Amino acid sequence: MQSTYGIGGHGFLLSPSPAIRVMVTEDKELVLFRGEREVARITPNDEPARGEASWLSAGMARYGEGGPLLELTDGVELESVFLRIETGLPHVEWSGLAAGVVVELQVGVALVAAQPGDADPFFELHSLEGRDEFISFMPMKVAAEEIVINPAPYQRLVNQGKLDDMTFTECAYEHDGKQWRQIFYAVPVDDEVSVVVRAQASEPRVELLFQAAQAAASTLVPLR
């Protein structure tokens, strides 16, 4: 079974197992979960990851002198968390890689991967507490300036405009007695390819998801 996405940053290129969720903390640690259980954590250091793991104990390894520290939860095997670990990559912030693009991961949301065989090869970014509150990425084989987002019949238009080189559309609607909001960003990848970044949430998570969606859209670039 192969991973449908990767995690880059701090010298690493990681291929987590498909069942793993990934989250970045305020302290720039990368936390990996299976279900609700934390199974591993990577703490960056002064230097990026280099070379093979140097095991300090049964569940703790360092990657290079002054490099990041990997900690496994008791009873967890490295092979059950990662399909592959590469080092010596650029020293950048934690990022998600999929479908030919890279997106900087945002604090406060968890990356949920597409499963092998899914029609959509991308991941989603989910709110930690909310149900059905997430950020999705929709690759489009069309120039971003040609994308028009119109509210669905049950929605009302809240705002439309342009941010940097991205157009956006914000909508609102009611579902099961709750007020929901959606925002769409049309992000150019090249002259003929774009990605629509969509966030949907109800209060009190609208601000978190909308800020994370704007940051993700602003940092989305082609994977070279």
Per-domain boundaries in the chain:
1-113, 129-224
Residue 189 half-sphere exposure toward CB, CA atoms < 13 A: 21
Residue 73: which of 94, 57, 51 has the closest Cα? Answer: 57
pTM, two decimals, is 0.89
Q: How far apart are CA 96 and CA 75, in angstroms?
A: 27
Nearest to 223, CA basis, from 140, 112, 99, 105: 99
Residue with tokens 């650029």: 90
Question: What pLDDT score was predicted for residue 129?
Answer: 76
Query: What pLDDT, on a 0 to 100 scale, did the predictor assign at position 18?
Result: 83
pLDDT digits (tens, 9 = 90+) for 86-145: 999 988 999 999 878 899 999 989 998 876 666 666 789 998 876 789 999 998 999 999
